[in-house]
Chain A
Amino acid sequence: MSAMTAEQIDDLVGRYPEVFNRSFLARHGKSLAVAAVAVYLVFAWNLFAIGQVFQRGNWDIAGSYLADWVSYEVRPDIAYQDGYLEVEFPRFSPLGNDPKPDWLVTEQAEVTVVTTTETSPAAAQAPAATGFLVPGAKGTSTGFMAPGAATGGSAPQAGEGATQPVTTSERKVLPVRADVDMGSGTVLVEPYRVTLTRGAESLVVTAGSDGIVRADRELPEWAVQRREGEKIVAYFGFDGRVEVEEDEVKIRQRFLGWENFVFDPSSAFWNRSFGDVAATILWGERIKPEQSNLSLAIDNFLNNAEWQHGDVYVKLGQTIVMAFVGTLFATAIAFPLSFMAARNITPSFLTNQVTKRLFDFLRSVDMLIWALFFTRAFGPGPLAGISAIFFTDTGTLGKLYSEALENIDEKQREGVRSLGANPVLVQRFGVVPQVLPVFVSQSLYFWESNTRSATIIGAVGAGGIGLKLWEAMRTNADWENVAYMVLLILLVVYVFDTISSRLRGLLIGKGQV
């Protein structure tokens, strides 16, 4: 491209002033707008202290919360004692009471358990209260592998009023070594000595009687000791972590899946294969004489303590009902009112204005405020949600309907009127056939969109799954239940989306939604 001479350039500029000499705003308007947005974002960043909030955020835990959506942890604690170990699973462990998982294998041996009892009249009345230091006493010896071991000998022998330590020693079969398979590594626990292996690397951690936790070498990447001498945490990726403390090892092993999704450990059907359960239900002897196995299974399923299927389904049903009834009532009320609001149908200015302002009011007050109001009035539950959706949508649908009515073709009405029909019949045959598909389509759209919004207003107490969802999230421990409910909500929304768009397509033809 050859260069232009100065005259040619001037000539061009002179001929197209609107291109070359634009106003300041036209030239810089866009950059100014971008700059204004940038300045505003800086202001907002400071207003909400976004940087600070993100810094203080508990990001370590985010990963484990996310993992909780699709997996669960089993958390046995292995405490060291003199010469043996105590393996204990928490109450309500997903593995049920007294589990013996195959990833935690213990080696048993006969050991001497020395019991020292501080005998006093108080202790004589409550011998089991000395549990902490007394491995042989009731309550602690029932650890994990030796439920049948003798538990005698802890009864006080001393005379009344005397305070003197009584030492009893006995031989018992107890675990002395525990092998834990962590998936991507192994942990070998012996009293006061833990060997952690991940890949080719292995690390021996000893916990001295002085309460200091030491590693035999420099810590590898996957192990962390926050403070000198305190617990060492070894990470095994998704498979969980192991915390080696001065008196015990905490195993936190993670497994993919939703634990006990169908039956919880208290159910007779728990931990049995599908075929086995099906056979029991169909042909098996009655587990409870007064109830058939099928109804027992359904009961157990719906009342699953962890997943609460029954309650979740009731709440989900409430959400669906709220959206359905709310929208239906709103349609029923907005329909006649919109005829009053349309100025071509009701020629009274006063009536038009009053109805239209009523619609505006109902719409602007917002679903949240109505929901809070009705929750206070009707008590928490779907009635409040129905009323909230009903009030808001009467406003919105009324507005949409009256706008549709004001845009109708007047010729049909004229035609019907010219036949001498009375005003009601004119509306029935001159107006309704024109607008009905539009009305129904709009109502269907709102039905669908209300199924989503009913979830949110539920969280303020207006019934439905929203509150349950919110409560599950507030505990920070039930993310798998959140995942379950989200999945159900997405499913319901998807189903109603499909139904509603099918119906709308049938009503007004495709592509006009």
Chain B
Amino acid sequence: MTTPRYSPMVTETERHWQALARQRRLYTGLGLLLLAMALAGSLWFANETNAGKFWDRLPHFFDFFGDMIPRDGWEIWRAMFDLESPYADGSLKYDYPVGRVYLTENIYMPEYVFKMIETINIAIVSTLVGFFFGFLLCFLAASNLTTRGWLRGFVRRFLEILRAFPEIVIAGFFAAILSLGPVPAIIAVAIHTIGSLGKMFFEVVENADMKPDEGLRASGGNWVERVRYGMVPQVLPNFLSYTLLRLEINVRASTIIGAVGGGGIGEALRLSISRGHEAKTIAIILLLLTTVIAVDQLSAWLRKRVVGEQAFTRVQGAVS
């Protein structure tokens, strides 16, 4: 392709372009090679330190799925609604009616439904607590409302610590003081929620329109009044939207915390999986799946009503 017809400038440009392309390809190749090496090393390490080796365990993996099939399809139904099982032999596996929670003489709530409600309530309470404190703190962390640098910095660092501290440690610490149960789970999830909602809230406040605030300042409003009448009305819809989003995440988080000792459905699931109670496991999973999807849909619908379509740019899961 090297033809002397081009002027020296064009040849020079072409040479530069080729060099650049080579360099880019080299970097891409090196990057991919690095990634592949990191992956290979990671996989080897994971396999070495695992209790069972991958290739040894793989056949058992399918066994395990086979083991998860209950004796008949109706068992799942019975496990979910605590009905008598025809296979009842006094063992924990088929003792579905034992867990009934009687509301009145005859009407009962199935065990897992009750536990699911407990978990949802953990999530709601901790979201409310998180909303309350996040709401109070966010105005102090916003640069357009709090001019004192030290105060702003202090509140921001505080929120960061709350957010970054592993939930499980907070839950474990309070479990040691208050004994295992839902209350440590509420505290743990709530503390994390304060941190993350506080951060999102102050970002909303910083992007707010400052004209109402100016008006209030001009007419002599003090700081609280400026926040109350100038800021809150315009940021509240976004706050509510983020809170609903957080609620979805908290339902999952409280399930997980439940599994490590916080009570609720998470614990029931962990126990039934580790004991190999297939019908109970599937019943709980179905219940969880339905609840998570229902909460997601409900919250999406509410968010749409509160802030309109633009709130959908941030997809769930994208918040840790």
- State whether B47 touches A364 (Cβ < 8 A): no
Q: Is B266 an interface residue (CB 8 A)?
A: yes
Given contacts A50-B183, A65-B176, A368-B252, contact A381 B50 (CB under 8 A): yes
B181, A53: Cβ atoms closer than 8 Å: yes
Query: Closest residue to A364 on the B side, CB-wise?
Result: B292
Q: Is A16 an interface residue (CB 8 A)?
A: no
Contact A400 B318 (CB under 8 A): yes
Q: Which of A288-325 contact B (CB under 8 A)?
A: 314, 317-318, 321-322, 324-325
Task: For the complex formed, measure the closest distance between the CB of A44 and the CB atoms of chain B, giving whole angstroms.
Answer: 5
Could you say which of A360, A376, A463 contacts B274, with CB atoms under 8 Å apart?
A376
Chain A residue numbers with a CB within 8 Å of B178 are 53-54, 56-58
Across the two chains, which residue of chain B brings its CB closest to A387?
Answer: B61
Q: Is the interface of A mostly helix, strand, loop or mixed?
A: helix
B124: A residues at CB distance < 8 A: 40, 44
B219 within 8 A of A: no
Question: For residue A317, which residues in chain B have a CB less than 8 angstroms away from its CB?
Answer: 45, 49
**Chain B residues within an 8 Å CB radius of A380:** 50-51
Q: A53-B178, A57-B177, A445-B318 are in contact. Are A381 and B51 (CB under 8 A)?
A: yes
Q: Is the pair B289, A364 in contact by a Cβ cutoff of 8 Å?
A: yes
A-side contacts of B289, CB under 8 Å: 361, 364-365
Instruction: Tell me whether A382 and B46 are in contact (CB under 8 A).
Output: yes
Q: Which of B16-24, B104-112, B166-174 contacts A (4 or more CB under 8 A)?
A: B166-174
What is the bound-complex CA distance between A259 and B149, given in angstroms?
38
Q: Contacts A452-B320, A457-B256, A486-B166: A377 and B60 contacting too (C-beta < 8 A)?
A: yes
Min Cβ gap B36→A in Å is: 10
The answer to whether B52 and A473 have CB atoms under 8 Å apart is: no
Interface readout for A46-62 with B: 1 if CB under 8 Å, 0 if not? 01101001101111011
Contact of B52 among A50, A378, A442, A494 (CB under 8 A): A378
Are A321 and B273 interface neighbours, CB within 8 A?
no
Q: Which residues of A are found within 8 Å of B80, using beta-carbon distances?
A: none
Write the nearest CB–CB distance from A333 to chain B, whole angstroms: 14
* Interface residue A213 (Cβ < 8 Å from any Cβ of B): no
- Closest chain B CB from A510 CB (angstroms): 15
A368 and B42 in contact, given A460-B259, A470-B168 (Cβ under 8 angstroms): no
Contact yes or no, A456 B172, CB < 8 A: no
CB nearest to B64 among chain A residues = A377
Cβ-based interface call for B92 (8 A):
no
Q: Does B311 contact A (CB under 8 A)?
A: no
A84 vs B259: C-alpha distance when bound (angstroms): 54
A449 touches B320 (CB 8 A): yes
**Residues from chain A with Cβ under 8 Å of B269 in the complex:** 368-369, 372
Complex CA gap A482/B169 in Å reads 8
A359 CB → nearest B CB, Å: 11
Query: Of A47, A382, A403, A473, which one neighbours B49 at CB under 8 angstroms?
Result: A382
Is B302 part of the contact surface with A, judged by Cβ < 8 Å?
no
CB distance from B223 to the nearest CB of A (A): 21
Kindly supply a per-residue 1/0 record for chain B positions 27-49, scoring 1 wherever the CB is within 8 Å of any chain A CB and 0 otherwise: 00000000100110011011101
Q: Does B279 contact A (CB under 8 A)?
A: no
Q: Which residues on B sit within 8 Å (CB–CB) of A361?
A: 289
Chain A residues, CB < 8 A from B143: none
Evaluate whether A322 and B46 lie within 8 angstroms (CB atoms) in the complex, with A369-B269, A377-B57, A469-B169 already known. yes
Which of B42, B122, B274, B288 is A366 in contact with, Cβ under 8 Å? B288
For residue B293, CB closer than 8 A to chain A, the reply is yes
| Interface hub of B35, B124, B166, B182 (most chain A Cβ within 10 A) | B166
Interface centre among A59, A381, A489, by most chain B C-beta atoms within 10 angstroms, is A381
CB distance from B269 to the nearest CB of A (A): 6
Which of B50, B165, B255, B260 is within 8 Å of A379, CB to CB?
B50
B9 partner residues in chain A, CB cutoff 8 A = none
The reply on B125 being an interface residue by CB < 8 A is yes
Contact A65 to B177, CB < 8 A, known contacts A44-B125, A372-B273, A470-B172: yes
Q: Which of A448, A460, A489 is the most central at the interface, judged by chain B CB atoms within 10 Å of its CB?
A: A460
Query: How distant is B288 from chain A, measured CB to nearest CB, in Å?
Result: 7
Question: Is A386 within 8 A of B125, CB to CB?
Answer: no
The reply to whether A367 and B256 contact each other, CB–CB distance below 8 Å, is yes
B315 (CB) vs chain A CBs: closest residue: A400
User: Does A151 count as interface, using CB distance less than 8 angstroms?
Assistant: no
Residue B85 interfacial (CB < 8 Å): no
CB distance from B160 to the nearest CB of A (A): 10
Q: Which residue of A lies closest to B183 (CB)?
A: A53
Instruction: Decide yes or no: A396 and B165 within 8 Å by CB, A364-B289, A366-B288, A376-B273 being known contacts.
Output: no
Q: Which of A59, A328, A378 contacts B50 (CB 8 A)?
A: A378
Which residues of B have CB within 8 Å of A62?
Answer: 177
Q: Are A41 and B128 in contact (CB under 8 A)?
A: yes
Q: For the complex, is B54 an interface residue (Cβ under 8 Å from A)?
A: yes
Known: A65-B176, A364-B289. A493 touches B164 (CB 8 A): yes
What 4 A-B pairs are tightest by C-beta distance, nearest first? Answer: A381-B50, A473-B172, A379-B52, A379-B51
Further contacts, 16 of them, CB under 8 A, given A321-B45, A442-B318, A473-B176: A41-B125, A58-B176, A61-B176, A325-B39, A328-B39, A361-B289, A364-B292, A365-B288, A373-B273, A378-B61, A381-B49, A384-B50, A449-B320, A456-B257, A473-B172, A490-B165
Subset of 6 A-B contacts with CB under 8 Å: A48-B181, A53-B178, A381-B46, A381-B51, A383-B46, A474-B172
Which positions in A face B, CB cutoff 8 Å?
37, 40-41, 44, 47-48, 50, 53-54, 56-59, 61-62, 65, 314, 317-318, 321-322, 324-325, 328, 360-361, 363-369, 372-373, 376-384, 386, 396, 399-400, 403, 442, 445, 448-449, 452-453, 455-457, 459-460, 463, 466, 469-470, 473-474, 476, 482, 486, 489-490, 493-494
